[in-house]
Structure formats: structure tokens, C-alpha cells
Structure 1
Amino acid sequence: MNLHQLAAERRTLVVECCDGVVRDRLLSSLAEHHGYTVGRAPRELPHLDPVRPYREILQQGGALVVDAHLVGELVYGPLRRGHSRVSWIQAFDFADALAERHGAFVHVRAPVAVLEDRMAARGGPAADLPEIAAAVTAFESAFRTLAQHAPVVTVDENPLTGPGGGPSDLAVALPVSSLARRLPRIRSPVSLFAQPR
């Protein structure tokens, strides 16, 4: 499957990746070449209902690609603060809503060595380097879990560098593979409307 096929099959795409992975070109390609509207979720989530901005974005009509940080919160919350502001039940409910909108998660990856080089080039502290490998592993695990509720497509960012030393452009036809398994959907026993406000 390539990006053209994915765009033809999925009405909604939620793009997620580790810090340092380039996804802007993917979002631009989907908007320019496939007619998606780009929705951007805020990095700071509401305290009482952290998934609300994501549910609101999914209410938009038409083909939609979301620059998201929901899975990032599931990964980086425990790594950096010891807990996530998003519960797994909330994440499962969002994944179910995404699947009902004929959507999929898009997990953009880059090799750990590439991410470490980018952090070093930005002057990131050496203490952050072990976090990169932990985050890459945690993203893989999170997407394996979410694949029980919504399709997950993995896109490898091109790790090669362009003439200026920066990352080369992502091709429009990126190779993708699905982690989605044919499993029965597990619905949360807690209704979206029964959550505390």
C-alpha cells in the first residue's frame, strides 16, 4: 500500500510520531495532493477532558488529516511526569470514534540514530538521549494496543539527508504497512458522556 492508496481508502488520518520526527511534509502532501483539510490539536490538553479537542476535530466534515499529540501524551506523560493526562479508556474511545469515521492512525517513524543526531544538532541535553529509544519503543507498543480499536498505518520517514544536510523530502508515495489486526472491537464500558467534567 502507498500513500495514494491510503488516501483513497481513508477519510480521516491521525498523524502521530516521536519528538524530532518530521511530519510537516507528510501533512502538506496530504493537503496539497489529496485534498485533506489539516486539523491541528493543541499541545496543551484541557485538564478535565483532555480528549475533547480531538473529538471536536473529528466532527469536521470531509477528508481530514489531524496533526495530533494524543498518543504522544500516552508515551511522554509517563516518561516525563510519571503519568499520562489521557487514560487508555479515553484513548480507546477516541480510536473507536476514528474507526467509525473511516479513519486510521498514521505512525511516522525515524531511526533512533537519526533522532539522536537531530537532538544533538539542536543542542539537546545528553540526558534526553536515552528517552529517545524509550519513546520509540513506547510508541510501537501504544500503536499495537490501539490497533485493536482502529487501523494503524506505519510510515517510515526517509532517513537520508538532502543536499543541505537536512532531511530529504518525503515522497508522495511512501511505503506503509498496517499493524491493524482483525480483532473484535472492545468497547469501553464507560460512555463518553458519563466521564467527569
Structure 2
Amino acid sequence: MNLDQAVTEHRTLIVEGCDGVGRDALLTGLARRHGYAVTHASRDLPHVDPVRPYRELLRHDGALAVDAGLVGELVYGPLRRGHSRVTWIQAFDFAEAVAERHGAFVHMTAPVRVLADRLAARGAPAAALAEIGAAVTGYDHAFSTLAEHAPVLTVEERPTCGGGPDRDPGHGGAVSEPPAASFTRPFPRIRSPVPFAEQS
């Protein structure tokens, strides 16, 4: 499945990835080339029903791409606070709602070294740099688990050649959309989520 086929089959795309991935180019391409309405989900989650803002976004008519952070809460919540504000049951319910809207999750990822270089260039603290490997693993586990409830597509960014850190796609300058050939991975790619799920 290439990008054009993916956008034909999925009218809702929930785009996520760990700190340092460049989502802007993909979201811009979805808007300009494929007519998706792009929205950025708030990182402030209601205490009583943290998934409510995400469910409300799904009421949008037409093709929708969401720059989201729900999976990020499942990953970074345990890493940074010892718990997630979103439960796995809530995440599963949302994933099923995405699937019912003919949607899919888009997992953006990049090599740990690339992410570390980007975050270091932004002046990220040592603690943020130290957690990159765990965050990448956490996203892999989370998306493998969610793939039981909704399709998961993966975009793996390719580092630029030249020896130095690549330009940060999310901060300044025009950046080309990730190659369509890198948009897919056979799914569902299921791995045991037990060690990761137990954190929440």
C-alpha cells in the first residue's frame, strides 16, 4: 500500500510519533495533495474524560488528519509521571471509533540517533534525551497493541545524507513529504504488549 492508496482507503488519519519526529510535512501533504482537513488536538486533556476531545474531532465531516497526542500520553505519561491519564480501555474505545470512521493511526518514527540530534539542537534537557530510546520502544508497543482495534500505518523518516544532523522537519523551512514507499508496513504487527501495558 502506498500513500495514494492509503488516503483512498482511510478518511481519518490520526498522526502520532515521539518527540523529534517531523509530522508537519506529512500533514501539509495530506492537506495540499489529498484534501484532508488538518487539525491539531489539544494536549490539555480533561480530567474526567480525557479522550472526549478526540471523540469530538471524529464528528468532522469529510477527510480528516489529526496531529494527535493520545498515544503520546500512553507512552510519556508512564515515563514522566509514572502513569497515563488515558487508560488502555479508553484508548481501545477510541481506536475502534477511528476504525468505524474508516480511519487509521499513522505512526511516524525515525532512528533514535536522528531524534537525539534534533532534540539536542533544540536545547532539550538531558532527561529528554535519555528517554528517547524508551519512548521509541513505547510507541512500537503501543501501536502494536492498538493495531488489534484499528489499522496502523507506519511512516519511517529517512535521515538525510551528509554526516551531520538532518534539518528538523517540524521547525522552520520547507520540507518534502516523506516518501510514499515508506508509508506502509504490513499490519497488524502484533507483539506482546504485556510489559508495556502493565505500566499503566
Question: 2:35·2:63 contact (CA, 8 Å) conserved in 1?
Answer: yes
Does residue 180 of the first structure (1) align with residue 191 of the second (2)? no
Task: Report the counterpart of residue 6 of structure 1 in structure 2.
Answer: 6
Q: Matched residues in 2 for 1:179 and 1:151: separation? A: 10
Query: How many corresponding residue pairs?
Result: 183
Question: 2:157·2:178 contact (CA, 8 Å) conserved in 1?
Answer: no
Task: Report the counterpart of residue 86 of structure 2 in structure 1.
Answer: 86
TM-score, length of structure 1 as denominator length: 0.86
Question: 1:157·1:170 contact (CA, 8 Å) conserved in 2?
Answer: no
TM-score, length of structure 2 as denominator length: 0.85
Amino acid at match of 2:88: W
**Secondary structure of the structure 1 residue equivalent to 2:94:** helix
Distance 1:179 1:44, change over 3 A: farther
Task: Report the counterpart of residue 135 of structure 2 in structure 1.
Answer: 135
Task: Report the counterpart of residue 195 of structure 2 in structure 1.
Answer: none
Question: 2:147·2:189 contact (CA, 8 Å) conserved in 1?
Answer: no
Question: 2:12·2:103 contact (CA, 8 Å) conserved in 1?
Answer: yes
Give the structure, 1 or 2, with the largest relative contact order (CA under 8 Å, sep 6 or more): 2
Distance 1:91 1:179, change over 3 A: farther
> Structure 1 unaligned runs (5+)?
184-197
Instruction: State the identity %.
Output: 64
Q: Matched residues in 1 for 2:12 and 2:144: separation? A: 19
Task: Report the counterpart of residue 195 of structure 1 in structure 2.
Answer: none
Q: Matched residues in 1 for 2:139 and 2:3: separation? A: 21
Task: Report the counterpart of residue 110 of structure 1 in structure 2.
Answer: 110
Q: How large is the RMSD of aligned CA atoms in angstroms?
A: 2.1
Q: Matched residues in 1 for 2:19 and 2:38: separation? A: 19
**Secondary structure of the structure 1 residue equivalent to 2:180:** coil
> Structure 2 unaligned runs (5+)?
169-174, 191-200
